[in-house]
């Protein structure tokens, strides 16, 4: 059987578990990364770890490869396929950070030349 990340959306038991657990876990991530009432940028890394744990739970750690540092866009591999994880909060879908930089020229260059190199797991936290 050919498994993929899409299997998550077919597993009704896992969907119920996600609906029950992820909001609490994401809230803990926000609390952990809050300073003076503001959420720090490290919340993205914490959310990513939560999602990776979910994927390991579903597919087993032998099918998930993490710790990829040689490919800037890739956060993990599932069944050998590269995946980028992006999370964002809010009522509306405004933007997703594709690159971490404070250099406006570098950001503009990246935006104008961006071509995805892998699939993306996009998580909207409302």
For residue 98, pLDDT beyond 80: no
Q: Given CATH 3.90.1150.10, say whether it is the number of domain 5-125.
A: no
Share of the chain above pLDDT 70, in %: 96
What does the mean pLDDT of the chain come to? 88
pLDDT at residue 1, rounded to an integer: 58
**Quick one: which of 45, 86, 79 has its CA closest to 65?**
79
pLDDT at residue 59, rounded to an integer: 94
Helical spans, DSSP H, in 5-117: 12-32, 43-59, 104-113
The whole-angstrom separation of Cα 126 and Cα 116 is: 25
pTM: 0.84
For residue 51, pLDDT beyond 70: yes
């Amino acid at each position: 059987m050919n498994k993929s990340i899409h299997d998550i959306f077919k597993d009704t038991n896992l969907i119920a578990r996600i609906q029950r657990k992820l909001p609490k876990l994401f809230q803990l991530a926000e609390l952990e990364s809050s300073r003076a009432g503001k959420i720090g940028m490290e919340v993205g890394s914490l959310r990513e770890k939560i999602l990776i744990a979910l994927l390991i739970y579903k597919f087993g750690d032998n099918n998930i490869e993490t710790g990829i540092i040689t490919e800037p866009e890739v956060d993990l591999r599932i069944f050998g396929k590269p995946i980028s994880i992006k999370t964002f909060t809010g009522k509306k879908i405004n933007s997703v950070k594709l690159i971490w930089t404070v250099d406006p020229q570098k950001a503009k260059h990246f935006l104008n030349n961006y071509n995805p190199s892998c699939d993306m797991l996009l998580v909207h936290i409302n």
